[in-house]
Amino acid sequence: MRNHDLLIRLDPDFSSYETLLPPANAANPETKYYKVIDKMQTLPAHLWDTTVSFHAEITDIEKGVEWVIRAPLGLVQRSLWTVETATEKDEEVEEGEREKRLVLVEDVEIRCSRLLIGTAKGKCEENWKGVHKKWLDHLEKLGA
């Protein structure tokens, strides 16, 4: 999970990225900064595609990563990705297996204008299953 290159590339709209220097007022010296460019389909059948550039801040934390996206028009999305052991709520996991099973948890907070919230929330909900699947596929290739 601490492979930022892989995490950035999981985005289905990913086009390119570059590493940025931390700002002079960076609060956490462990945070890494990136400029990411996504190719976004704005009309069906790719009739009108565009690129969107945004800044991403990724900080490794004890059980995962914190990812903050600062996009145009004031959109700020904070995602906390953690790996936890299965809990009692995981009904599909048998009692003795819970402590052995790991669960990927993504907690997302989006702040933006009312004009953008539908698009931002829809994009987030549309992408998460594919992103998580790509990440888990990568783990399986590593034999994790």
Per the CB < 8 A criterion, the answer to whether 4 and 32 are in contact is yes
Question: What's the DSSP call for residue 23?
Answer: P
- What are the phi and psi torsion angles at 71 (to 5°)? -110, 170
Q: What is the pLDDT of residues 87-110, one digit of tens each?
A: 655 556 566 565 567 777 889 999
Q: What is the pTM of this model?
A: 0.79
Q: What is the pLDDT of residues 25-34, one digit of tens each?
A: 999 999 999 9
Sequence-ordered list of residues with C-beta below 8 angstroms from that of 6, at least 6 positions apart, any chain: 135, 138
DSSP labels, 34-70? EEEEEEEE-SGGGSSEEEEEEEEEEEEETTEEEEEEE
CATH of span 4-142: 3.30.530
